[in-house]
Amino acid sequence: MTSASRRRVCFQLQVKPERLAEYRDRHAAVWPEMLRALKDTGWHNYSLFVRDDGLLIGYFETDSLDAAREGMAATDVNARWQAEMGEFFVDLESSPDEGFLELTEVFHLEDQLDSLDAGTSGPAPSQAPAS
């Protein structure tokens, strides 16, 4: 599957504000074994973004979210990482990689441009009245 056909996944979590500095430090030096496991199990173009109040937004691309999650669940390094990272989050009832709130994509520039190029545009934009 090419990167153009991968599913884009965006998610939200809430980091405890008092733990934010340590959370950032931990992600500045993720364990090499964890980095390799993410890549090997289908987590591509993975990024995390965080606000100063702890709002965390994650983004990655994958051929299959279920397969990516199952692949990581089968690794020892993920169990260790999730156990350590779980304490950083507010109101999390499961591990961070299972408990995130997935967001719904409402716009993707390349998809709409591809539709235009293929001649299958979506709804017409509103037009200003002619003068």
Q: Which amino acid is at 48?
A: L
The reply to whether 115 falls in a domain is no
Are 54 and 20 a contacting pair, CB within 8 Å?
yes
The residue segments making up the domain with residue 22 are 3-102
The reply to whether 40 falls in a domain is yes
The reply to whether 128 falls in a domain is no
Strand ranges of the sheet holding 101-103, from the earlier edge strand across to the other edge? 44-50, 55-62, 7-14, 101-103
Report residue 91's pLDDT band, with 50, 70 and 90 as the boundaries. confident
The reply to whether 116 falls in a domain is no
58 strand-pairing partners: 11, 48
Structural domain total, the chain: 1
Residue 29: CA count within 13 A, CB half-sphere: 2
44 catalytically annotated: no
The reply to whether 131 falls in a domain is no
The reply to whether 50 falls in a domain is yes
pLDDT digits (tens, 9 = 90+) for 1-44: 555 679 999 999 999 999 999 999 999 999 999 999 999 999 99
Q: What is the pLDDT of residue 37?
A: 97
Q: What is the mean pLDDT of residues 51-55?
A: 97
Q: Which of 27, 36, 44, 80 is catalytic?
A: 27
**For residue 34, which phi and psi values (nearest 5 degrees)?**
-70, -45
* pTM value surpassing 0.75: yes
What percent of the chain clears pLDDT 90, i.e. is strictly above it?
Answer: 68
CATH at 73 = 3.30.70.100
The reply to whether 23 falls in a domain is yes
Q: What is the mean pLDDT of residues 82-89?
A: 92
